[in-house]
Structure 1
């Protein structure tokens, strides 16, 4: 059994065979499933409110859906890892209705989720993924494919929270002959809730009077992320001082690095051209001297 799983970062869409284009408008695929919202954040004041997902069958074939819950965490590259022993899980807090249903082509269904935390939950944020699975049908092949869309749910319980993060350093090459120059940073979440670095609130490298933004990312509670960004157009030559900063309850912490950009290849080329010009000038000078010596000798010779 192979399980295909997607952790939605936007509207999740899975398409099966039959999605090839035809002349004019492309036909609907045999399988197309959309789940929204792609991410659900439940704040302390809304834990008792019912939460709702919308599931749409945009394909030409009917589909049966089973809704499961899964604990998850993330690795340093941001890859989602489903792990029943993942810390800070809210997998046992959810009641889902309906947990299984049938969708005909073009049909949609609303799925209601209620959050029921324990009497004294640990402070901070807890996460769980809802897995909307279309089980593999019966067939004669050796491989069956379960198609699954995962949507993360983040639940913050009432009480004090800590948004602290810690920078592990700013990584960059000490020397570069040209662009692009790559910067890397490690952000460790030492607080009790996730930290989203999106848009204007994203992580940026300040270098040479400019801000170079890292791609948007999230650091889950108790995890760390390694992120990189490329400075595509550094100056031809510089001793560039770079800095990255994050804010938290205790203020702003920063890390810095220095990169020397020097066009060594152009310098070597310039030396080569200069050497060639020098040798050419030296050869021309010797030719001129030999010619003048010939004239002088001819003038002194009485014959």
Structure 2
């Protein structure tokens, strides 16, 4: 049993050494279960029930209302009297109001009476369990309505269409790494709502892996934008991502190509390589300058030595035999 819990007025004290750390019981805590009802054609004549519980410390007065609703592209419920496919006039709730003492439970019954020859498919209505604010005086004059809304989906006898359409798969196309977001729009073309939960959910197949979208519902006649984050993509890849959705007309798929390249790391490595190249060039230039300076100093030292004359023998002859012949083949 899924439980919708609305809690207000909770004060959590600081937990110090030796404290138990348990939060105190709130003044207001209202629980309604189930969180929604799915009523098929075979169950329309049955009485539906909600369990309402007061889990707070203070008593609560409850007023039960009903209203039409729809949903926007982000999945947010929008209450509106003129919402399409409304079943607000089909249901009767009992009791319409009641008092709940602390730790007290109460059953609220719902009877459904569709009109003759209703439109095929599904109609929806929300039952609102409202706790109106009490009278306030003096400085404490803020009044807040607290409510829980539980949807009821009623499918009348007749043919049912579950067609949906998946739009283009959205992605940045290029990423330098890190998490990558994918988005898609799902249009409900059928006559009933579609749940995408668990194994029946929607996912993106990318790089050989399944990346599931969070659970979501698309109401009849609405569209829903959903996104999912691929948390651990590879460092580099040309990834092919695809999302597919099975329907009455077969499987429809949408794909996108994503390039992941760490441009910032490449720029950093290139900067390091350029810096190393410049350092090596400077070091070689300094080394060559050092060698040239040493050679010049050595040459200067040899030219200025005792008895030495530049370019010839110590006795002044330009070279050749010791006896003066220029052929240089005499005995030494």
Verify same fold: TM over 0.5: yes
Q: Who is 1:298 aligned against? A: 297
> In the alignment, does 2:31 pair up with 1:34?
yes
Q: Who is 1:5 aligned against? A: none
> In the alignment, does 2:190 pair up with 1:191?
yes
39, 61, 64: which one aligns with 1:64: 61
> In the alignment, does 2:127 pair up with 1:130?
yes
Structure 1 residue 19: Cα displacement: 4.2
Q: Which structure 1 segments of 5+ residues have no match? A: 1-8
Identify which range, 16-25 or 260-269, moves more after superposition: 16-25
Structure 1 residue 300: Cα displacement: 2.4
Q: Which structure 2 segments of 5+ residues have no match? A: 305-332
User: Deviations along 1:142-193, whole A, 9 cap, x unmatched?
Assistant: 4321111100111111111111111121110121111211111000101101
Q: Who is 1:182 aligned against? A: 181
> In the alignment, does 2:98 pair up with 1:101?
yes
Q: Secondary structure at the match of 1:60?
A: coil
> What is the rounded CA distance, in whole Å, between the counterparts of 2:179 and 2:23 in structure 1?
40
Q: Secondary structure at the match of 2:167?
A: strand
Contact kept in structure 2, 1:19 and 1:30, CA below 8 Å: no
Q: Who is 1:248 aligned against? A: 247
Contact kept in structure 2, 1:219 and 1:225, CA below 8 Å: yes
> What is the rounded CA distance, in whole Å, between the counterparts of 2:47 and 2:11 in structure 1?
36
The answer to which structure has the higher strand fraction is 1
Contact kept in structure 2, 1:74 and 1:81, CA below 8 Å: yes
Q: Who is 1:204 aligned against? A: 203
10, 17, 33: which one aligns with 2:9: 17
> What is the rounded CA distance, in whole Å, between the counterparts of 1:202 and 1:18 in structure 2?
35
User: Any residues of structure 2 matched to 1:112-261 within 5 Å, and which?
Assistant: 112-140=109-137, 141-261=140-260
Q: Secondary structure at the match of 1:151?
A: strand
Identify which range, 29-38 or 290-299, moves more after superposition: 290-299
Q: Secondary structure at the match of 2:123?
A: strand
Identify which range, 90-99 or 266-275, moves more after superposition: 90-99
Larger-gyration structure (1/2): 2
> What is the rounded CA distance, in whole Å, between the counterparts of 2:27 and 2:11 in structure 1?
7
> What is the rounded CA distance, in whole Å, between the counterparts of 1:15 and 1:298 in structure 2?
92
Q: Secondary structure at the match of 1:29?
A: coil
User: Any residues of structure 2 matched to 1:249-288 within 5 Å, and which?
Assistant: 249-288=248-287
Aligned pair count reads 295
TM-score (norm 2): 0.85
TM-score (norm 1): 0.93
Runs of 4 or more off by more than 4 Å in structure 1? Answer: none
Q: Who is 2:52 aligned against? A: 55
> What is the rounded CA distance, in whole Å, between the counterparts of 2:144 and 2:287 in structure 1?
84
Structure 1 residue 239: Cα displacement: 0.9
Structure 1 residue 17: Cα displacement: 2.5
> What is the rounded CA distance, in whole Å, between the counterparts of 1:288 and 1:19 in structure 2?
75
